[in-house]
Chains A and B, each alone.
Chain A
Amino acid sequence: MTEETTQNLDNRLREAVLSCLADEALSFNGLRVGVLNEIVHLAGAAPTLEIRQKAVELVEQIPGVRGVVNRIDAPGAPLPARSVNLNLGNDK
């Protein structure tokens, strides 16, 4: 896959992630989304650990997403907040 098509795919996934999380109205503060090599990177702040986890569950359902690196901060989250959920053996 060329650099350009890889970035196009990542950009489309990024739009899908932003749209999905906006639809759910999960009340993030300063949500950040990056996608590289079909791995989604999330950052920002969530009001609860449940919403932080819900974001990962929603993003994992998006076709084409190979994994999620969750750096969203939330009360009770580890510092620095970072958890990795990769499904690399099951490329969609």
Chain B
Amino acid sequence: MEVVKIVGIGLAAGMLISILRQQKPELAMQLSIAAAAMIFLLMVSRIMQVVDVMQTLSTKARVDQAQMAAILKIIGIAYVTDFGSQVLQDAGEKSVASKVEMAGKILIILLALPIILAIMETVLKLLE
């Protein structure tokens, strides 16, 4: 049972973090970073499987591979910025967290631009 393992890690980390937070908040923050990274490392093989299925489906549906790569990159950026901003919010740095989120949004828009342009071109072609 993988779920039990993950939930157990989460609960143990939560207890240790709440013990440490009263004494040394800086170490509690690092412990929460370590717990988050560890859970992702345990889950990464499952994420790989999902990504593989998505890719075979997209090749079957004849989606452009470049666009599929862009979508995957967007998911990655969203995950990493969310991770960073959550950790920062836990540490009480709300303003830095919101800047990190803003940077993530800008990068996502940048990656989505080619897809938006392709949609616009298709719409214009239909209108003519």
Chain A partners chain B: no
